[in-house]
Amino acid sequence: MSRHKYSTSGLAAVLAILALLAPAPGLAHHSFAGYEPELQIKFSGVVTEFTWANPHVYVRMDAPDKATGKTRRWLIECANPGILNRVGWRFNMVKAGDTITVIVSPLRNGEPAALLKQITLADGTKYSNGGPAGPATIE
Amino acid sequence: MSLCKCLFGRNAVTTLLCGMLWASTPAFAQSGAQVIRGINGSWEAYPQRAAGLGSTARGSLPAPAPVPEPPLKPEHLTKWKADQTRNAELTQKGLPPVTSGMACLPEGMPGMMQGTFPMEVLETPGQVTIIQEAYNQVRRIYLNEKLMAPEDAEPRFSGHSVGSWEGNTLVIRTVGVKDSVRFRNAPHSMNIRITERIRLVNDEFMENQVTIEDPEYLTKPWTWTWMYKRWPGYKIQEYVCEDNRYFEDPALGHQRLRVQ
């Protein structure tokens, strides 16, 4: 997957929505300004590590890069256990080996890390990251 | 007759008489403490900062006015405004400045009283305890005790608090907030004094009128009102900041995520 080959169609509309729905979880810990606020990408992959801890929950996953075909290991930052429990997550609902699909906002600096917007588990159930997810800008 | 003898009377008559005396005394009056005033329970900041942070319940009460700018003395206000502008510019560029929260430090007072997550109020004889879920922050407010002088107060994130009921208002006075603690990035001295006036607006809402005094830094008291909405049945969760992955970028000084 390439961060630089995304379509800009509909981007303005998404931008407007996201301006209203700016991510807020984790206010107590740090800023999310390092992530691309206007970009949401969607991809699937296999979980290699799931860490349920404060100040934030993290998922590591391997996903094929659409541009190169090579596997890329991503770090997906989620809200904290408290927020996720409140929106229906469970501490044990993701485990290594699971195939998941995520909608995320990637880091602006190009490193393979991203802020979760929505996760779809192997059984198809969807969970937010606390705040509402907008539509994926690119898939 | 002492409570000890009441509870451990040597014969049945003594025990019975003691029990009757104990039962006829108003709740908690035995310890000289106040009766419970109904602020017990879980609360969330109102209005909610964002979806997902609190309950799904919405309230009908108007939101209180935003916290005003700190009335800092001119020499401090100039730097504060410059810092605010710089921080906003850096954040806009995706280079958010470092914060104490990033280092897993708690908000302390008064920030913890409008923390990100829900808080629990416990009324017990002689004490009100407030637990903010974020960072497991706890403050103990001792009722009807004398407030210590700021110079005698060991610096703490939540300071040292005493409280008293004035009618239906719990008045809390706090000194000893560490001078490294920042609320709205405003500096303060170890002579800071925080006064809170907490009261139930109705069964659903609680109000906190906050006043900060610090003649070394402020030209006048800094005051505002915070509101809380009751969250019946909510159980405060654990928050131990054990897995921090953020660090200060060595070159530019902004927040960075440790990706690998």
d(CA B81, CA B87): 10
> pLDDT confidence of B25, banded at 50, 70, 90?
very low
Domain boundaries in chain A?
Answer: 41-133
For the stretch A36-73, pLDDT in tens is: 888 999 999 999 999 999 999 999 999 998 888 899 99
Burial (CB < 10 A; 0-12, 13-18, 19+), residue B205, is: middle
Q: Does B95 touch chain A (CB under 8 A)?
A: yes
Instruction: Reduce the secondary structure of chain B to three states and give it as a string.
Output: CCHHHHHCCCCHHHHHHHHHHHHHCCCCHHHCCCCCCCCCEEEEEECCCCCCCCCCCCCCCCCCCCCCCCCECHHHHHHHHHHHHHHHHHHHCCCCECCCHHHCCCCCCCHHHHCCCCEEEEEECCEEEEEECHHHEEEEEEECCCCCCHHHCCCECCCEEEEEEECCEEEEEEECECCCCCECCECCCCCCEEEEEEEECCCCEEEEEEEEECCCCECCCEEEEEEEEECCCCCCCCCCECCCCEEECCCCCEEEECCC
Q: Does A129 touch chain B (CB under 8 A)?
A: yes
d(CA B236, CA B250): 36
Mean pLDDT across A122-129: 95
Task: Report DSSP letters for A86-119, one per residue.
Answer: HTT--TTS--TT-EEEEEEEEBTT--SEEEEEEE
For the stretch A2-22, pLDDT in tens is: 443 333 333 333 333 333 333
For the stretch B90-115, pLDDT in tens is: 988 888 888 888 889 999 999 999 98
- What pLDDT score does A28 carry? 57
- The pair of structure tokens assigned to A112 is 């393979």
What is the distance of C-alpha A57 from the center of its chain?
Answer: 11
ipTM of the predicted assembly exceeds 0.95: no
Query: Rounded to a whole number, what is the distance in Å from the CA of A19 to chain B's nearest CA?
Result: 13
- What pLDDT score does B20 carry? 44
Mean pLDDT across B244-258: 89
d(CA B10, CA B49): 59
The verdict on a CB contact (< 8 Å) between A58 and B243 is yes
Q: Which residues of B touch A34 (CB under 8 A)?
A: 94-96, 254-257
d(CA A106, CA A75): 10
For the stretch B123-138, pLDDT in tens is: 999 999 999 999 999 9
Beta bridge partners of B130: B121, B139
Of A36, A87, A109, the CB nearest to B52: A87
The verdict on a CB contact (< 8 Å) between B99 and A53 is no
Q: What is the pTM of this model?
A: 0.83
The continuous run of DSSP H or E covering A47 comes out as strand A41-51
d(CA A91, CA B44): 23
CA dihedral B147, B148, B151, B155 (to 10 degrees): -90
- What pLDDT score does B23 carry? 41
Of A109, A113, A130, the CB nearest to B53: A130
Closest CA to B41 of B26, B20, B55, B51: B55
Q: Does B13 touch chain A (CB under 8 A)?
A: no
Phi and psi of B241, rounded to 5°? -80, 75
The answer to whether the CB of B81 falls within 8 A of the CB of B240 is no
Phi and psi of A138, rounded to 5°? -135, 150
**Beta-strand pair B169-175/B222-230:** unpaired
What is the distance of C-alpha A7 from the center of its chain?
Answer: 19
Q: Write out residues 61-120 of A within 8 Å (CB-CB) of B.
A: 75, 77, 79-83, 85-87, 107-109, 111-113
Q: Which residues of A touch B117 (CB under 8 A)?
A: 28, 82-83
Of B99, B133, B259, the CB nearest to A111: B259
Of B103 and B213, the structure prediction assigns the larger pLDDT to B213
Class of domain A41-133 (CATH, top level): mainly beta
Q: Does B244 touch chain A (CB under 8 A)?
A: yes
